Amino acid sequence: MGLKDVQEIPIDLIDDNPFNSRMNYPEKNLEAMKSSLAQVGILNAIKVRRMNDRYQIVYGHTRLKAARALSWDRIRAEVCDISDHQMCQLSLIENVARDDLSDYEKAVAFSRLKEQFGRTCEEIGKDLGLSKQHVSNYIRMLDLFDETVLSRDPSLRSALYQITEHHARVLSRIEDERARVDALRLVILEGFSVRDLERSIRHLRSWFPTNGSESRSTRRWNSRSARSKDIADINDVLVKESTLPSTGDFKTFEKLHAFKGGCSIFSCFPPMGRCQNVEGLKKSKDWFESVAPNYIRKSRDVVVQFYGNAAVATLYVELQSKFDANHKPLQIRGTVVLAHQRRKWRIVHQHFSAFDPLEAVPYLGTRVPIDAIGT
Q: Which domains does the chain have, with CATH numbers?
A: 2-101 (3.90.1530.10), 144-218 (no CATH), 224-372 (3.10.450.50)
Q: Is the pLDDT of residue 163 over 90?
A: yes
Span 268-279, average pLDDT: 70
Query: For position 270, what pLDDT does the model report?
Result: 58
Q: Which tens digit of pLDDT belongs to each residue from 184-193? A: 888 888 788 8
Phi then psi for residue 304, to 5 deg, are -115, 130
d(CA 125, CA 128): 5
289 contacts: CB under 8 Å, gap ≥ 6: 245, 248, 250
- Torsion sign across C-alpha atoms 281, 227, 150, 166: negative
CB 20 within 8 A of CB 49: no
CB 23 within 8 A of CB 142: no
Q: Which of 214-223, 244-253, 272-281, 348-357 has the lowest mean pLDDT?
A: 214-223
Q: Which of 88-92, 215-219, 310-314 has the lowest mean pLDDT?
A: 215-219
d(CA 266, CA 274): 5
Query: For position 268, what pLDDT does the model report?
Result: 66
Task: Characterize the bridge pairing of strands 14-15 and 54-59.
Answer: parallel
Q: Is the pLDDT of residue 201 over 80?
A: no
Span 212-237, average pLDDT: 60
CB 247 within 8 A of CB 353: no
Count of Cβ atoms closer than 10 Å to residue 302 Cβ: 17
Query: For position 166, what pLDDT does the model report?
Result: 93
Q: Which tens digit of pLDDT belongs to each residue from 48-101? A: 898 888 999 888 888 898 999 999 999 999 898 888 888 887 777 776 656 567
pLDDT, greater one: 213 or 128: 128
CB 362 within 8 A of CB 268: no
Query: For position 208, what pLDDT does the model report?
Result: 56
CB 321 within 8 A of CB 291: no
Please report the DSSP string for 271-308 in residue order: S-S-EEHHHHHHHHHHIIIIIGGGEEEEEEEEEEEEET
User: How many C-alpha atoms does 293 have within 13 Å on its Cβ side?
Assistant: 13
Span 259-284, average pLDDT: 75
Amino acid letter, 198? E
